[in-house]
Structure 1
């Protein structure tokens, strides 16, 4: 399992580095308006990835481990067919929305191509990690990075930079999935839709949780902007810049741990699943605290090199975001166990409650409070989610492990 987690961490770091490189390349060559169009397309992809995770990736992650080979293939066939249908439905919606926003249909089609192929690759990554084949996910993503870079270099000479980057990455996504393809049989559409009705009873709660989690994670941006203005938002966001690498730890661990915990629960060994949870969570939090400690020790060099005295409160804001991010990582780890135990409905209520607390607290920005208050409001929601989720984990007795019906 350690090797699998290490491969998952390498995979996530590679993708994050590639994304950062694309952003830096565009910042150096395009106007703010053009960069805004690229950011808009990526934001749509992030939102759709949350939707896709709820409807497709999570059912794959909890529906396959521990099942007989034949049942795995039947369940996977249903979910892969549902995945193709979902992406076909989203294709014209994304293209139309982006074209309407920009007034450029070519941009809309390029953004739609990025989103559809990106979700296709996410599906294949979910299958690879669920079946404990992280090396295959790493191959897919490494191929995507290499092929996308080559396609972008070629298209850069023919198209505007933003369109070249969107279409080049889309081409890399599609080519990587095709090159790394394994034998996967789809279920007939009618049969898949009938079978997915059972999955929907759980996915609707996962979808609710995903929507409210997005509101919690991104809601403060709109609240701070609306109540205090762009200057305060910039100050608050500056403190979060260095927290990005911490999220890699929980996501890399969760991709391997969720199918492992699911397999243990299906086999009737909930105790083993909880050991995986608590040992893994302790490891994630320990590494996160080490990272925060390194930031604190290096702060006399980091602040002048990165922030250059432009943000007087940046030290306190960064420390506050560090505390909030540690809470968030703990919640993410606990959430993976609750998903493995198929406690989707209670987990959705956790997300709703946390989002409600954070957004209600953020209304305090209407008064004269320091910018760090916004971070405290986010932390309040995360703390509630951690305590509530831990209570659900400790109280859980006999999770539901029913398969997605094959017919």
Structure 2
């Protein structure tokens, strides 16, 4: 099988499985739009956003360094054990965050369900990354597909019984359990057995060299991409956040495809760079970008079709259609910018350029937060998305500059360039 055919199969698996998960989650949130009021929908959407943020934190703290380390020539088994320990602790902590946020937003009776959901979701997310790192994408994709099927089936039963905020949280939790089972008993045994066998002491080097920078990058990326969610929800309440969250459903397939393809492509790029094959790594960047731009095109076309001809199928009459159209247009621009910048970001992560990524991310986050704060305080909450557009645009510029420096540093005779970068060039 040639390289192009192999890449097509890998991308097909990595894109179709999270695409099915996105479709199932879309059905769930669509049902919630019809069954619950805007405040409850805003609460649910905000907690799901926290779960998504948890995926990013998991990538930073665990999945990214784990993938890079076990694919590196100097692989250390004891260090690998520490990732299972960190993952268990992180999963418990993030479950508490999700439950606490639900309680603060007024969903006090459902808080324990959201805490359970947050814990399960983080365990499954690392399980997928573990399988991708071991180059077993079919099993990882099977977990997504089983999760999607279970979510649709359980959602159908929940709708017959009367869908509520609590039923929505329970539905996702049960589907996540099904996805965990599909990962295989081997992973679950390893997760809990290795968590006790591992030592945080062996994770210290990973934290100093990689995780603290990727964590800083993820936090700044979250601020760049989702500052509006926190600002609008805290300042105007979950009901004001509902229209923004509702239109974001249209671009969820793009976000999930980006995340899943990241887990697939990062280890491949890391292997290429470890072997000194920069051209192969750059081909991976181009394939990644082509794939996600294709997903973007199809997804946005579907969103335009629904909003133009059948908006009443999704939204109650209480939602303002012009505001929904504005929000959708801004989401389309934001997701396009993300599709363009993410492949370059993954290349830089594979090259372990974590510090410059983090420093640029901080600058972009500060700009986005400032813009969002000004927009929320001066205009309608819906326009807070313009601050995210600005932050993502600067992120794209930074990726172009950093990728160009990486290419130069990979050229023969460029030791001076590499030394200059390591000692001084972080912005």
| Pairwise TM-score range, normalised by the shorter structure | 0.7 to 0.9
Quickly say closer, same or farther: Cα 1:81–1:18, change in 2 above 3 A: same
Question: 2: CA distance between counterparts of 1:388 and 1:56?
Answer: 25
The answer to whether the 8 Å contact 1:66/1:267 transfers is: no
Deviation at 1:80, TM superposition (A): 1.4
Which residue is equivalent to 1:404? Answer: none
The answer to whether the 8 Å contact 2:18/2:144 transfers is: no
Which residue is equivalent to 1:243? Answer: 251
How high is the TM-score relative to the length of structure 1?
A: 0.79
Q: 1:354 aligns with which of 335, 341, 364?
A: 364
Equivalent residue runs for 1:105-144 within 5 Å:
107-144=110-147
SS of 1:182's partner is: helix
Q: Does 1:288 align with 2:291?
A: no
Q: Does 1:258 align with 2:266?
A: yes
Which residue is equivalent to 2:220? Answer: 212
Which residue is equivalent to 2:390? Answer: 380
Question: 2: CA distance between counterparts of 1:314 and 1:96?
Answer: 30
How big is each residue's C-alpha offset from its partner over 1:104-145, in whole Å with a ceiling of 9 and x where there is no partner? 56x333222111111111011111222232210122223334
Q: Does 1:166 align with 2:173?
A: no
Deviation at 1:83, TM superposition (A): 0.9
Which residue is equivalent to 2:186? Answer: 182
Question: 1: CA distance between counterparts of 2:274 and 2:371?
Answer: 40
Quickly say closer, same or farther: Cα 1:172–1:23, change in 2 above 3 A: same
Quickly say closer, same or farther: Cα 1:112–1:159, change in 2 above 3 A: farther
Question: 2: CA distance between counterparts of 1:363 and 1:95?
Answer: 26
Deviation at 1:3, TM superposition (A): 0.8
Q: 2:352 aligns with which of 342, 345, 361?
A: 342
The answer to whether the 8 Å contact 1:213/1:351 transfers is: yes
Question: 1: CA distance between counterparts of 2:252 and 2:341?
Answer: 16
Quickly say closer, same or farther: Cα 1:272–1:38, change in 2 above 3 A: same
Q: Which structure 1 residue ranges, 5 or more long, are not aligned? A: 401-407
Deviation at 1:386, TM superposition (A): 1.1
Q: Which structure 2 residue ranges, 5 or more long, are not aligned? A: 1-6, 411-417, 420-427
Which residue is equivalent to 1:63? Answer: 69
Q: 1:323 aligns with which of 333, 357, 367?
A: 333
Quickly say closer, same or farther: Cα 1:243–1:87, change in 2 above 3 A: closer
Question: 2: CA distance between counterparts of 1:234 and 1:30?
Answer: 11
Question: 2: CA distance between counterparts of 1:174 and 1:293?
Answer: 33
What is the aligned length?
397
How high is the TM-score relative to the length of structure 2?
A: 0.76
SS of 1:342's partner is: coil
- Farther-moved stretch of structure 1 (108-117 vs 172-181): 172-181
Question: 2: CA distance between counterparts of 1:207 and 1:383?
Answer: 21
Quickly say closer, same or farther: Cα 1:167–1:264, change in 2 above 3 A: same
Which residue is equivalent to 2:200? Answer: 193
- Farther-moved stretch of structure 1 (131-140 vs 157-166): 157-166
Quickly say closer, same or farther: Cα 1:266–1:192, change in 2 above 3 A: farther
Question: 2: CA distance between counterparts of 1:359 and 1:331?
Answer: 19
Which residue is equivalent to 2:422? Answer: none
- Farther-moved stretch of structure 1 (204-213 vs 215-224): 215-224
> Please, what is the CA RMSD of the aligned residues?
4.1
Q: Does 1:275 align with 2:283?
A: yes
